[in-house]
């Protein structure tokens, strides 16, 4: 069974540019969530999608957005990049049994490491 | 939302038992506590999950007191390959919002 696939694994952008990251969940998983990981802030929740609908959103500015397609694949976009956006962006999928619950075991991808210069 | 706190780092020797505690004062009353392990350049990986008292699987035990304001991950007889960062994940209820929140993470270093 294939795991969660994130592309690209590494990318370098400059301030002001935008970036799109992609996530392919485990087959059959309809919930996809995104997290930002930095040394200073740790793992922070960005947003969660289920059946193409954003159901939860973390405390991030509107420059961070995402979407989910009918095949459950998800993308996240960051516009007008800032130096502080440099981070590892992690995607996780789950076979949801309870909405907005820690009971849903998350399977993470390896992440996309974004460096903003 | 209230922070979910863990010790920043811990050192242990091979073969010892390691206990890592996570404090989560504002945990939602009806949700699970989950622990994840993360190696460098990888995403976190599920270790164990529980709601109350004690849960044990083939790799770890999870102890949860009656008030559920903390939880302790216990790793028996650690080996060098257990060197990783460990995170707890809980549903935090601030009164106005409920959000899944990772702990600050604990870097466990196992020494030979």
pLDDT digits (tens, 9 = 90+) for B52-99: 899 999 999 999 999 999 999 999 999 999 999 999 999 888 877 788
% chain A with pLDDT above 70: 98
**pLDDT tens-place string over residues B29-50:** 888 999 999 999 899 999 999 9
Q: Pairing between strand A64-68 and A87-94?
A: unpaired
**pLDDT tens-place string over residues A11-64:** 999 999 999 999 999 999 999 999 999 988 899 999 999 999 998 889 999 999
The pLDDT of residue A83: 97
H or E element in which residue A20 lies = strand A19-24
The pLDDT of residue B2: 55
* Mean of the per-residue pLDDT values of chain A: 93
- Cα–Cα nearest to A99, from A66, A37, A51, A59: A51
CA A78 – CA B65 distance, rounded (Å): 41
Distance from CA of A92 to the nearest CA of B (A): 9
The pLDDT of residue B92: 87
Quick count: other Cβ atoms within 10 Å of Cβ A73?
16
Kindly determine whether residue A43 and residue B105, on different chains, have CB atoms separated by under 8 Å.
yes
Distance from CA of B35 to the nearest CA of A (A): 10
CA B47 – CA B33 distance, rounded (Å): 11
- By Cβ distance, the residue of B91, B101, B103 closest to A101 is B91
The pLDDT of residue A69: 96
Mean pLDDT, rounded, for A96-105 = 80
Buried b vs exposed e over A75-105: b needs ≥16 C-beta within 10 Å? bbebeebeeebebbbbbbbbebeeebbbbbb
Q: Is A101 on the interface with B (CB under 8 A)?
A: yes
With a CB cutoff of 8 Å and minimum separation 6, the contacts of A62 are none
3-class DSSP assignment, residue B31: coil
Quick count: other Cβ atoms within 10 Å of Cβ A4?
22
């Amino acid at each position: 069974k294939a795991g969660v696939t994130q592309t690209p694994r590494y990318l370098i952008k400059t301030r002001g540019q935008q970036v799109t990251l992609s996530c392919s969940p485990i087959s059959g998983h309809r919930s996809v969530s995104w997290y930002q990981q930095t040394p200073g802030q740790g793992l922070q929740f960005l947003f969660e999608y289920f059946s193409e609908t954003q159901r939860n959103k973390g405390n991030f500015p509107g420059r961070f957005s995402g979407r989910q397609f009918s095949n459950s694949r998800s993308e996240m976009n960051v516009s007008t990049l800032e130096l502080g956006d440099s981070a590892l962006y992690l995607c996780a999928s789950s076979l949801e049994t309870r909405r907005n619950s820690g009971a849903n075991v998350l399977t993470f991808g390896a992440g996309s490491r974004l460096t903003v210069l | 939302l209230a922070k979910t706190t863990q010790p920043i780092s811990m050192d242990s020797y091979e073969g010892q038992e390691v206990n890592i505690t996570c404090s989560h004062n504002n945990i939602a009353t009806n949700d699970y506590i989950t622990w994840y392990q993360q190696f460098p350049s990888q995403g976190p990986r599920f270790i164990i999950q529980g709601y109350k008292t004690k849960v044990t699987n083939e790799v770890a035990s999870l102890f949860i007191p009656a008030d559920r304001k903390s939880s302790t991950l216990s790793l028996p007889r650690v080996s060098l390959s257990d060197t990783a960062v460990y995170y707890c994940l809980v549903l935090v209820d601030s009164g106005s919002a409920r959000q899944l929140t990772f702990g600050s993470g604990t870097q466990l270093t196992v020494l030979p």
